[in-house]
Amino acid sequence: MKHLYGLIGHPLGHSISGEIHRRLYEYYQMDAEYRYFDLEEEEIGSRMNDFRQNFSGLNVTIPYKKKILSYLDDVRDDGALFGAVNTVVLKQGKAIGYNTDGMGFMKLLKQNRISVQGKRICILGAGGAGSALAPKIAGSGAEEIVILNRSLHKADEVAERIRRSVSCTVRTDFPDLAGKYLKYCDVLVNTTSVGMSPRSEELSLEAAEQLRSETAVVDIIYNPRKTKLLQIAEQNGCTAINGLGMLLYQAFYAFELWTGLMPPEALEQQLEHELVF
Ligand code: ATR
């Protein structure tokens, strides 16, 4: 029997999830299909019945990662921690939500031998991605987290949520004041959309020139593969990592939730080279 999977979001023009999952079906010689559903919000409810009956899993992307919650039977693990879901397991008529973005991010760090344990981390952005990764990093043993966001109230909300559950020092500030934190920051993570194609000339951190070579810089943007932030980080002698590994690993973890199979690291490396976007 053919297994059906899908991605819901709006708009979906730029997504390469389908390409990744199709490569996994090929690798495992699975009879499966990954379909795109560019849906208006009002359509989600009526579609869920079909998904529950005929599909084995869904990915959920912008702008529905939070909105999907009201259509699910249960939300587990990071899905509950983040209050946002990117993967739905459909089994026996039930829809269970998870979030694999944080796991994808932590795997990317591990693969690059970057630890957050006891470290001081700066996070740029407090949007969908930032508000998910910050509690994940805090929960992984970071000593201090500084969330820098143009809309400071959003950073404050994320910080408050972290303080309620983890004993990690959490500070918030405006990105213009990043300089004072760069003096001691061990890992800097950009979660904003600044510098993403087609606006790849934009720089997400004005003070980037002040980056010390000891700071590892991770930009979760993967298109372009080397953002302006990563270019400056490299010039300053920092370890500089893009978001392609995170994208691939969040897809691998979703695939594992659906099938029980975790694709090998060699396949991740192969796809990093072969994916075209
Ligand atoms: P995502 O789900 O990809 O995180 P999002 O929720 O729209 O997308 O969040 C985008 C992030 O990029 C936010 O932190 C946003 O800052 P604000 O919360 O202040 O809006 C940040 N961002 C987007 N454009 C920006 C810009 N031109 N300058 C600074 N920050 C920007």
User: pLDDT tens digits, residue range 131-178?
Assistant: 999 999 999 999 999 999 999 999 999 999 999 999 999 999 999 999
Pocket flag, ligand 1, residue 76 (CB < 6 Å): no
Q: Is 149 in the pocket of ligand 1 (CB under 6 A)?
A: yes
**Å from CA of 259 to ligand 1 middle:** 34
Catalytic site residue 65? yes
Which atom of ligand 1 is closest in space to residue 130's alpha carbon?
4
Residues near 144 by beta carbon (within 8 Å), at least 6 away in sequence? 120, 121, 168, 169, 170, 171
Report the C-alpha dihedral over residues 244, 245, 251, 257, rounded to 10 degrees: -160
56 lines ligand 1 (CB under 6 A): no
Sign of torsion over alpha carbons 68, 107, 160, 217: negative
**Contact present, 218 and 227 (Cβ < 8 Å):** no
Average pLDDT of the segment spanning 48-60: 97
Query: What is the number of the ligand 1 atom nearest to the C-alpha of 125?
Result: 14
Q: Has residue 15 got a pLDDT over 90?
A: no
Q: Which of 192, 221, 222, 223 to mutate to test the pocket of ligand 1 (most atoms within 8 A of CB)?
A: 192
Smallest CA separation from ligand 1 atom 22, residue: 192
Contact of 86 with 132, CB cutoff 8 Å: no
CB 246, CB 220: distance < 8 Å: yes
When the pLDDT of each residue in the chain is averaged and rounded to a whole number, the result is 96
Stretch (H or E) spanning 137: helix 128-139
Catalytic residue among 2, 65, 91, 107: 65
Planar angle of CA 128, 134, 139, nearest 5 degrees: 135
Q: How far does residue 95's CA lie from ligand 1's centre (Å)?
A: 30
93/146 Cα distance (integer angstroms): 42
Q: Which segments within 1-63 are labelled E, that is strand?
A: 3-9, 32-38, 57-60
The per-residue pLDDT for range 172-216, each reduced to its tens digit, is 999 999 999 999 999 999 999 999 999 999 999 999 999 999 999
Nearest CA to ligand 1 atom 5: 127
Which candidate, 74, 102, 77, places its Cα nearest to that of 90?
A: 74
The pLDDT assigned to 89 comes to 98
Pocket test for ligand 1, best of 67, 158, 193 (most atoms within 8 A of CB): 193
Q: What is the pLDDT confidence band of residue 2, given thresholds at 50, 70 and 90? A: very high
Half-sphere exposure of 127 (CA within 13 A, CB side): 12
Structure tokens at 111: 């693969």
Q: Which helix (H) or strand (E) holds 155?
A: helix 152-165
**pLDDT number for residue 97:** 98
Q: What is the pLDDT of residue 100?
A: 98
Helix (H, G, I), strand (E, B) or coil at 11: coil
pTM of the model: 0.96
